[in-house]
Chain A
Amino acid sequence: MEKRELTCIGCPMGCTLEVRIEEDGGIEVAGNTCGRGDSYARKEILSPARIVTTTVRIDGAAEKVLSVKTQKEIPKDKIFACSAALKKVQVKAPVYAGDVLVENIADTGVDIIATKTVLE
């Protein structure tokens, strides 16, 4: 059995959640005040995922960099692989918000999209 402590981000209370993970994969959550804490803890233990926001280099615009994000959440342990892959990416203006810039970043199955329109 493994024990982990998490802080719930569901609301400003920020309950300290004590999570027990049994050998058979069962999860018990304690310390939460409401249901949000329970579901947050389960997701954090089983498949923690984040949307990654960063920048890529852009040519031919007033700006030097363009803001981008992963279209959906990617597994937390892929965050650094994602940002490392994006370091090598260079795009050219014009780019429109929502444009897909990189497909399947770091083998996550998730695309990288522009979050800003940058004209020439």
Chain B
Amino acid sequence: MRACDIVIIGGGPAGLAAAVSARKQGIEDILILERDRELGGILNQCIHNGFGLHTFQEELTGPEYAARFIRQVDELHIEYKLNTMVMDISPEREVTAMNREDGIFTVKANSVVLAMGCRERPRGALNIPGYRPAGIYSAGTAQRLVNIEGCLPGREVVILGSGDIGLIMARRMTLEGAKVKVVSELMPYSGGLKRNIVQCLQDYDIPLKLSCTVVDIRGKERVEGVVLAQVDEKGKPVPGTEKEYRCDTLLLSVGLIPENELSREMGAAIHEVTCGPKVDESLETSVEGVFACGNVLHVHDLVDFVSEEAAAAGRHAAEYIHRLKRTKERPARGKTVPIEAGSGVRYTVPCSVCPARVEDKLIIRFRVDQVYTDCYVSVYFDDERILQKRRLAAAPGEMEEVRLTRKQLREAPGLGRITIKIEER
């Protein structure tokens, strides 16, 4: 069986950044396994611009952003296998994969970085009544059809869900000559970035209907129309508010789910809110030597933050390898403190920290549970508030973060738990 220091599962933005970072930390023996026919992951179909403002201080398209990392992977001579599907990862970090050249093969990894990304929530998860005609696509599938395969999935379009991919596809289908009639969002606010609402909908006079959902899909062979209705505060459709839109296509942009079949089977503990692995300050999962980053860990809005997080995961995996080679065994973890999502906060990543292992700072990323105007983000060490940050606006669609210093953590020896809360002014 082949042995390898770090095996990275997935060659999208997270896997690429993790590989580059681990190599720069002196790890020679790295292998990226990618199931598609090229590196870059979903960035290849995200042909719009707006990527890289934080990382490169310029606006790049998805393929351009991916190319910057692919070039580094090539220059650093990092090995990768394309068209390769990982079937299983054992708790002992034996990675079983298959492709057409090697057949089924197993690699014994000293460390694994999970970077499989996420998948779109499908129609089946939504309980929309009606037949199952042709013409219903997830927004990302439509994006692939238009931007990679070069075919337009429909002419008259209704979009359910105002996630960023749905908004981007509203503009994309319009540019390709389709008529996007309406974007319907179940929640009273959009799940997408403000910039996308303006530049993808308002620029093209596409209406956005909030607190509104699909209650029926018309048509048996092909979509012929959809019926939208207003919903009440509990999300229940209000009778009498139905309105039919004639269309041949319904796109769904109703959320992304981290793709964690491999992580689950390996026995990694999964967070019930993010659906990603539970990780500590080193982005290490509950399985020793296995790290996670990018959308497989929690769904991000900006790829720049994926790259930053993945670089950290690569660095931590490299440290793990260096320690393993020095001491031949895993050093004791030291005291671990849970990080809890308090009122107004849906989840935090990481969800625990070993203060002794924090490098210079600890970045805690989280999402709020509703739209807030003028609030405080507060950090509590047990019952004592140690940090309060004013935010003029916070929304579930935009990821938040707080940074704690190593000093703050080291100066609290008896610390029992850290809580992140939203407090109204």
Contacts and interface: CB of A to CB of B under 8 A. Distances in A.
Given A12-B194, A12-B394, A69 B147 contact: no
Contacts of A115: 47, 61, 63-64
A64 B144 CA distance: 12
Interface stretch (A20-28, A48-56, A103-111): A48-56
Contacts of A7: 194, 197-198, 202
Closest 10 pairs (CB-CB, A-B): A64-B150, A65-B150, A67-B47, A116-B63, A14-B194, A13-B393, A9-B195, A115-B61, A12-B398, A83-B175
Interface in A42-98: 50-55, 57, 62-65, 67, 69, 76, 79-80, 83, 97
Interface in B189-240: 193-195, 197-199, 202-203
B179 interface: no
A117 interface: yes
Interface in B132-167: 146-151
B395 A50 contact: no
A21 to B, nearest CB: 18
17 contacts: A7-B198, A7-B202, A12-B193, A12-B393, A53-B48, A64-B150, A64-B151, A65-B148, A67-B47, A67-B61, A67-B62, A97-B64, A115-B63, A116-B44, A116-B63, A116-B64, A116-B67
B146 A55 contact: yes
Given A55-B146, A83-B175, A69 B61 contact: yes
A45 to B, nearest CB: 14
A7 to B, nearest CB: 5
B47 A62 contact: no
Contacts of B395: 12
A33 B175 CA distance: 33
Contacts of A63: 148, 150
Interface of A: 6-9, 12-14, 33, 50-55, 57, 62-65, 67, 69, 76, 79-80, 83, 97, 115-117
B155 to A, nearest CB: 15
A115 B67 CA distance: 9
Contact of A97 (B63, B202, B398): B63
Interface residues of B, number: 33
Contacts of A12: 193-194, 393-395, 398
B49 interface: yes
Interface string B159-183: 0000000000000100110000000
Given A53-B47, A83-B175, A115-B64, A9 B150 contact: no
Contacts of B151: 64
B392 A13 contact: yes
A111 to B, nearest CB: 15
Interface of B: 37, 44, 47-49, 59, 61-64, 67, 146-151, 172, 175-176, 193-195, 197-199, 202-203, 392-395, 398
A18 to B, nearest CB: 15
Contact of B392 (A33, A50, A52, A116): A33
A68 to B, nearest CB: 8
A76 B171 CA distance: 13
B203 A50 contact: yes
Contacts of A69: 47, 49, 61
Nearest to B301: A12
A83 B193 CA distance: 24
A53 B203 contact: no
B393 A57 contact: no
Contacts of A80: 175
Nearest to B64: A115
Contacts of A57: 150
A9 B67 contact: no
Given A62-B37, A97-B64, A9 B198 contact: yes
A53 B398 CA distance: 24
Given A54-B47, A55-B47, 15 more contacts: A8-B194, A12-B393, A14-B194, A50-B199, A50-B203, A53-B61, A54-B175, A55-B146, A63-B148, A63-B150, A65-B149, A67-B61, A67-B147, A80-B175, A116-B44
A117 B67 contact: yes
Contacts of B176: 54, 83
A6 B395 CA distance: 19
A65 B44 CA distance: 12
Contacts of A14: 194, 197, 393
A107 B203 CA distance: 21
A83 to B, nearest CB: 5
A37 B275 CA distance: 37
Contacts of B64: 97, 115-116
B398 A76 contact: no
B61 A76 contact: no
Contacts of B67: 97, 116-117
